[in-house]
Amino acid sequence: MVFARIAKFYFRKGKREEAFAELDFILNRQARNAKGFRGFLSLLSNENKDTAEILTLWDDEESLVASEKEIFFGAVNKVLNSLEKKPDVEHCRVFSTELYFHRSSKSELDRM
């Protein structure tokens, strides 16, 4: 069974791009080396220019919880001054997933 953390971040006006880039770099670089890490999606809202979300996937609930204590909260603290409030965090059990990457989409991902 796969588990996910969905974290929604609320940035101060005009701070999203810079702060989220730093947050994304820290979280995903450290998560790659964490036990049970399966992958991530970093999402920038089109409707609200001051919010973003990170979805991370984990092999089991134990890995998810451990990563929160060891990685997630430390990364959030590094960008705390750019946030309006602490992120909303939800833990989920993944029911199903399927991802396809077309050539143009993949090249966009490779640039990150």
Tell me the DSSP string of 36-103: TEEEEEEEE-SS-TTEEEEEEEESSHHHHHHHIIIIIHHHHHHTGGGEEEEEEEEEEE---------H
Compute the C-alpha angle 51/33/28, nearest 5°. 15
Is the pLDDT reported for residue 22 higher than 70? yes
- The chain-wide mean pLDDT, for the chain, equals 88
pLDDT score recorded for residue 104: 58
Domains assigned to the chain: 3-110 (3.30.70.100)
pLDDT score recorded for residue 102: 67
pLDDT score recorded for residue 103: 62
Is the pLDDT reported for residue 98 higher than 50? yes
pLDDT score recorded for residue 92: 96
pTM strictly above 0.75: yes
Of residues 70 and 52, which shows the higher confidence score?
A: 52
Percentage above 70 pLDDT, the chain? 90
- Find the range with the poorest average confidence among 20-24, 51-55, 62-66, 103-107: 103-107
